[in-house]
C-alpha cells in the first residue's frame, strides 16, 4: 500500500506501525514548501485538514498561528516529527536518494532483489 495524500496516515502512524511494515518517503523541506506554495490546496494556506481532525494539538497550534508561512512550517515539522518518532531511521527514505539511485534505495528498503529498468528523474 502506497499513500500519497498522507495526513491521516501520518496522524495514525503510531497505530499503523504496530500492524504494518511502514516506510516514509520524505523530501527536502525547501522542495516541500515550494511544492505546497505552487498549488491551491489547504496546505498552501498552512492547513492539513485530515491531520487537524485527528490531532487536536496540531489543530490548536495551527488555529493559534495567524501567519501562513509559520503554519506551513508547523505542518512540515508535524510530519517530520511523526516520522522521526514512529519510525526507525532506516524506515525513513529520502526522495532525492530514491531518484539518485534510480529507485534502488526504495527497492532495497522493501527487500526486493534484482534491478529495475525504471528511469527516474526529478
pLDDT of 53 reads 95
pLDDT of 102 reads 86
**Which parts of the chain sit beneath pLDDT 70?**
1-4, 114-122
Q: Is residue 25 part of a domain?
A: yes
Q: Is residue 117 part of a domain?
A: no
The alpha carbon of 49 is separated from its chain's Cα centroid by a whole number of angstroms, namely 15
Q: Is residue 121 part of a domain?
A: no
Q: Is residue 67 part of a domain?
A: yes
Query: Count of domains in the chain?
Result: 1
Q: Is residue 23 part of a domain?
A: yes
- In the block, cell 502512524 appears at 13
Q: Is residue 57 part of a domain?
A: yes
Can you give the residue range of the structural domain that contains 38?
Answer: 7-93
pTM score, two decimals? 0.85
Give the containing element (helix H, strand E) for 93: strand 92-94
Q: Is residue 52 part of a domain?
A: yes
pLDDT of 121 reads 63
Amino acid at each position: 500500500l502506497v499513500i500519497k495524500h498522507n495526513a491521516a496516515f501520518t496522524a495514525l502512524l503510531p497505530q499503523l506501525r504496530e500492524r504494518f511494515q511502514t516506510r516514509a518517503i520524505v523530501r527536502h523541506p525547501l522542495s516541500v514548501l515550494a511544492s505546497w506554495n505552487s498549488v491551491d490546496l489547504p496546505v498552501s494556506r498552512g492547513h492539513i485538514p485530515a491531520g487537524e481532525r485527528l490531532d487536536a494539538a496540531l489543530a490548536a497550534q495551527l488555529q493559534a498561528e495567524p501567519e501562513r508561512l509559520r503554519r506551513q512550517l508547523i505542518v512540515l515539522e508535524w510530519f517530520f516529527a511523526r516520522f522521526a518518532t514512529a519510525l526507525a531511521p532506516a524506515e525513513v527514505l529520502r526522495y532525492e536518494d530514491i531518484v539518485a539511485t534510480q529507485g534502488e534505495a526504495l527497492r532495497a528498503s522493501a527487500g526486493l532483489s534484482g534491478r529495475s529498468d525504471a528511469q527516474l528523474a526529478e
